[in-house]
Chains A and B, each alone.
Chain A
Amino acid sequence: MSRISMEQVKHVAHLARLAITEEEAQQFQHQLDQMISFAEQLNELDTDQVNPTSHVLDMKNVMREDVAKPGLPVAEVVKNAPDSKEGYIRVPSIIE
Chain B
Amino acid sequence: MSLFEQKVSELHERLHKKEISVTDLVDESYKRIGQVEDKVKAFLTLDEENARNQAKQLDDQIVKGENKGALFGMPIGVKDNIVTKNLRTTCASKILENFDPIYDATVVQKLQQAETVTIGKLNMDEFAMGSSNENSAYQATRNPWNTDYVPGGSSGGSAASVASGEVLFSLGSDTGGSIRQPAAYCGVVGLKPTYGRVSRFGLVAFASSLDQIGPITRTVEDNAYLLEAISGIDPMDSTSANVDVPSFVNSLTGDVRGLKIAVPKEYLGEGVGEEARNSVLEALKVLEGLGAKWEEVSLPHSKYALAAYYLLSSSEASANLSRFDGVRYGHRTDNAETLIEMYKQTRAEGFGDEVKRRIMLGTFSLSSGYYDAYYKKAQKVRTLIKKDFEDVFEKYDLIVGPTTPTPAFKIGEKVDDPLTMYANDILTIPVNLAGVPGISVPCGFGSNGLPLGLQMIGKHFDESTIYRAAHAFEQATDFHKQFPKL
Q: A residues within 8 Å of B by Cβ?
A: 4, 8-9, 12-20, 24, 28, 31-32, 34-36, 38-39, 41-45, 47, 50-57, 59, 62, 64, 72, 76-77, 79-83, 89, 91-94
In the assembled complex, the Cα of A24 lies from the Cα of B195 at a distance in Å of 36
Are A82 and B332 interface neighbours, CB within 8 A? yes
Among the listed A19, A38, A41, A80, which residue makes an inter-chain contact with B344, where contact means beta carbons less than 8 Å apart?
Answer: A19
Please report which residues of chain B, range 303-341, place their CB below 8 angstroms from some CB of chain A when the two chains form the complex.
303-304, 307-308, 310-311, 318, 322, 325-332, 336-341
* A39 near B307: Cβ-Cβ < 8 Å: yes
Interface pair B360/A32, CB less than 8 Å apart: yes
The residue in chain A whose Cβ has the minimal distance to the Cβ of B311 is: A39
B348 engages A20 (CB within 8 Å): yes
Tell whether, in the assembled complex, residue A12 and residue B367 are in contact, meaning their CB atoms are under 8 Å apart.
yes
B209 touches A54 (CB 8 A): yes
CB distance from B37 to the nearest CB of A (A): 28
Distance of A76 Cα from B329 Cα, bound (Å): 11
List 16 A-B pairs, Cβ < 8 Å.
Answer: A8-B364, A17-B343, A34-B418, A36-B374, A38-B310, A38-B419, A42-B378, A43-B377, A45-B304, A56-B209, A62-B238, A64-B235, A79-B102, A80-B328, A80-B329, A92-B341
Q: How large is the interface on B (under 10, 10 to 19, 20 to 34, 35 or more residues)?
A: 35 or more
- Taking the closest CB of chain A, its distance from the CB of B434, in whole angstroms, is 7
Q: Is B337 in contact with A92, judged by CB distance below 8 angstroms? A: yes
Contact with B379, one of A12, A28, A52, A94 (Cβ below 8 angstroms): A52
B310, A39: Cβ atoms closer than 8 Å: yes
Q: Are A16 and B318 neighbours in the complex by a CB distance under 8 Å?
A: yes
Q: Are the CB atoms of A13 and B360 closer together than 8 Å?
A: yes
A2 to B301, CA, bound (A): 28
Q: Are B347 and A52 in contact (CB under 8 A)?
A: no
A35 touches B310 (CB 8 A): yes
Which residue of A17, A24, A32 is within 8 Å of B364 (Cβ)?
A: A32
What 5 A-B pairs come out closest when comparing CB atoms? A56-B435, A52-B379, A82-B332, A80-B329, A47-B380
Contact A16 B363 (CB under 8 A): yes
Given contacts A16-B359, A17-B343, A35-B418, contact A56 B195 (CB under 8 A): yes
With most chain A CB atoms within 10 A of its CB, the pick from B103, B238, B381, B384 is: B381
Q: Which residue of the partner chain A has the closest CB to B381? A: A42
> Which residues of chain A have C-beta atoms less than 8 A from B364's C-beta?
4, 8, 12, 32, 36
Interface of B is mostly: helix
State whether A47 touches B384 (Cβ < 8 A).
yes
| Cβ contact within 8 Å between B359 and A55 | no
Given A16-B363, A50-B383, residue A82 in contact with residue B307 (CB < 8 A):
no
Contacts of A94 in B (CB 8 A): 339
In the complex, what residue of chain A is closest to B356 when comparing beta carbons? A18
Residues of B within 8 A of A76 (CB): 102
Residue of A nearest to B240 (CB): A62
A-side contacts of B336, CB under 8 Å: 92
Q: Could you count the A-B residue pairs with CB atoms below 8 Å apart for me: how many are there?
A: 162
Please give me the residue from chain A that is nearest to B99 by CB atom.
A80
Nearest-CB residue, chain B, relative to A34: B419
B419 touching A81 by the CB < 8 A rule?
A: no
At the interface, yes or no: B265 with Cβ under 8 Å from chain A?
Answer: no
B 188-214 binary contact with A (CB < 8 Å = 1; else 0): 000000011000000000000100000
CB of A16 within 8 A of CB of B360, answer yes
Q: Does B241 contact A (CB under 8 A)?
A: yes
**A44 — which chain B residues lie within 8 A by C-beta?**
304
User: Which among B238, B359, B380 has the greatest number of chain A C-beta atoms within 10 A?
Assistant: B380
A18 surroundings in chain B (CB, below 8 A): 344, 347-348, 351, 356, 359-360
Q: What's the Cα separation between A89 and B326 when bound, in Å?
A: 11
Q: Which residues of A contact B433 (CB under 8 A)?
A: 56
A77 and B102 in contact, given A41-B307, A45-B304, A64-B235 (Cβ under 8 angstroms): yes
User: Does any Cβ of A come within 8 Å of B376's Cβ?
Assistant: yes
Collect the chain B residues with CB atoms within 8 Å of residue A8's CB.
364
Known: A17-B325, A82-B326. Is A52-B419 also a contact (CB below 8 A)? no
Extra inter-chain contacts (8) besides given A20-B348, A42-B378, A47-B381, CB under 8 Å: A28-B356, A42-B381, A57-B196, A57-B239, A80-B102, A82-B326, A82-B330, A93-B339
Partner of A89, one of B209, B327, B386: B327
State A10–B182 Cα separation when bound (angstroms): 36
A38 CA to B304 CA in the complex, in Å?
A: 10
Contact B322 A17 (CB under 8 A): yes
Taking a contact as CB atoms closer than 8 A, the residue among A31, A64, A89 that contacts B418 in the complex is A31
Does B302 have its Cβ within 8 Å of any Cβ on chain A? Answer: no
Inter-chain CA distance A57–B342, complex, in Å, is 39
User: Please, which residues of chain A bring their CB within 8 A of the CB of B195?
Assistant: 56-57
Docked pose: A9 CA to B384 CA in angstroms: 31
